Amino acid sequence: MFSKVAGQLDRLIDAGMTQEQVHVFRSIFGNPDMELEHDGIVTFNGSVVAPTVQAGRWAVAQHNWDYNPLSSAAPSKGGKMAVVICREAADWQGNGTTGKSDITVYLPVTLGDDPNVVSGDVISFYEAKDGILVSPGNGDSRIGTIRQDINGDKGPKGWGVMDGAKNSKENGGSDLDLATNKRFLRQWTSASGNKAVGGADTDSVTVGSHSGGSVDSAVAIATHGSGTSGATSGHFPDHTHNVDNTSTVAAGSGTPQAVASLNHTGNMVSTPTPNTHTHTTPALSHTVTGSSALSHGAVTVDTVPLYIEVGFLERLNNSRTGLGL
């Protein structure tokens, strides 16, 4: 409390107090961190020096925010601190502005952002040491920013759905229309390609077109194993077995026996047992001559992949300058 004159307490030692007693007095009256409580009236005859303390004040924006009078660009483009014309209000609801004069309130924002204050907004402000009225906390994404949204509405203030109307140039937008032709967004390769359009929902594809030449193909007709496969005597032509009386037939390892002449003519009665065999065609070659191309026709195919529709919102230039006001 009296830390600047605490050294005077040492004079109490000369008056007969012990050093320990003086130390107690010093800790009571010379400690600036001591918490004080007083139930009576405290009167200060001199001046009291203390830090400046002020409460925030309320104001109602009379117009949309605007560029600094000394700049021709928005803050995100290197312009100076933006401003908004307001009238001071009595409360956070914006009451009590009648008869009040216009005041200029400055809008500091984070580097790379732009303010987003529109007519009728109630903002809080305070007076800086140099007398400037300041209202921080009113920044938003920089003008031209695109973001996705699933709320299914037109978006908050300062933003417009990218349908070419709500983000029209008259509304401070780019006029880019993602809705009419269902356009996708794609990163440009150079800044000169910014806002360029292209692509299509469908494409025409020609299938199997070729001109003169040859096409070769080997085809295996059939292969089957042993078995009768339905063969009958009718599958074999008439034939003759001739045996004369000079012929002999060996029976096992015994003595050959002579047989009488026998002629047999007619179809084979018994059904033979065929062996496994294969039928294979040679390679087939189709040759196209002449200069005319053969075409199997053009087919239109859908080139749109699977998708989910959401909203694309553009940060508008809703300043008075951006709206041409």
What averages of pLDDT result for each successive group of 10 residues across the chain (325 residues)?
65 81 76 76 80 84 97 95 97 94 97 97 95 96 95 91 94 93 83 83 68 47 48 54 55 54 49 56 56 62 84 96 91
Gap between the Cα atoms of 17 and 85, Å rounded: 68
Gap between the Cα atoms of 143 and 82, Å rounded: 13
Gap between the Cα atoms of 68 and 254, Å rounded: 131
Gap between the Cα atoms of 205 and 208, Å rounded: 10
Q: What per-residue confidence (pLDDT) applies to 268?
A: 46
Rg of the chain taking only CA atoms, in angstroms: 52
Question: What's the pTM value of the predicted model, to 2 decimals?
Answer: 0.57
Q: Residue 140 carries which DSSP code?
A: E
Q: What per-residue confidence (pLDDT) applies to 218?
A: 44
Gap between the Cα atoms of 65 and 320, Å rounded: 6
Domain boundaries, the chain: 1-35, 57-140, 143-186+310-325
Q: What per-residue confidence (pLDDT) applies to 74?
A: 96
Gap between the Cα atoms of 215 and 162, Å rounded: 54
Q: What per-residue confidence (pLDDT) applies to 162?
A: 94
